[in-house]
């Protein structure tokens, strides 16, 4: 039985906005599917990412998505991150609450060495 993971629609909106800024033509049916509720199926967001990657010649376009993110694009997690006084606190918040953004996302912080390492991966079953 396949698993159906989702992501907050606010993060998907950030990708849609970036696609528009880069002149990517998002088909109406995909745009409509991405704006139907509070959560977006991961498969549909993956389709948007694929379209974005194929349609832009800017090798840094995906990085622009990250630099243009606003706190609201990360749902309540963005507000929690803004309330942190230190990077360490922010990393703790991110590792705890990342599934609100994408329910299959997992972050791990390894602070045992220098430098501190932040790893991103998919949740294991």
**DSSP labels for 50-64?**
HHHHHH---TTHHHH
Q: Are 109 and 118 in contact (CB under 8 A)?
A: yes
Per-residue pLDDT band at 100 (split at 50, 70, 90) = very high
The overall average pLDDT reported for the chain is 91
On whether the pTM is more than 0.85, the answer is: no
Q: How confident is the model over 21-76, as pLDDT tens digits?
A: 999 999 999 988 888 889 999 999 999 999 999 999 889 988 989 999 999 999 99
pLDDT at 81: 96
Residue 4 CB-density burial (10 A; 0-12 exposed, 13-18 middle, 19+ buried): exposed
Among candidates 62, 87, 86, 82, which has minimal Cα distance to 71? Answer: 82
* Count of residues making up the chain: 125
Identify the bridge partners of residue 120 per DSSP, sorted by sequence position.
107
């Amino acid at each position: 039985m396949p698993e159906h993971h989702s992501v907050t629609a606010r993060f998907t909106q950030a990708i849609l906005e970036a696609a528009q800024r880069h002149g990517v033509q998002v088909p109406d049916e995909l745009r409509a599917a991405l704006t139907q509720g509070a959560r977006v199926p991961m498969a549909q967001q993956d389709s948007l990412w694929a379209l974005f990657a194929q349609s832009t010649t800017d090798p840094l376009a995906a990085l622009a998505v990250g630099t243009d993110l606003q706190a609201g694009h990360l749902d309540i997690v963005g507000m929690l991150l803004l309330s942190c006084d230190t990077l360490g606190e922010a990393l703790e918040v991110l590792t705890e609450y990342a599934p609100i953004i994408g329910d299959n996302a997992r972050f791990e912080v390894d602070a045992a060495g220098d430098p501190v390492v932040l790893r991103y991966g998919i949740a294991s079953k």
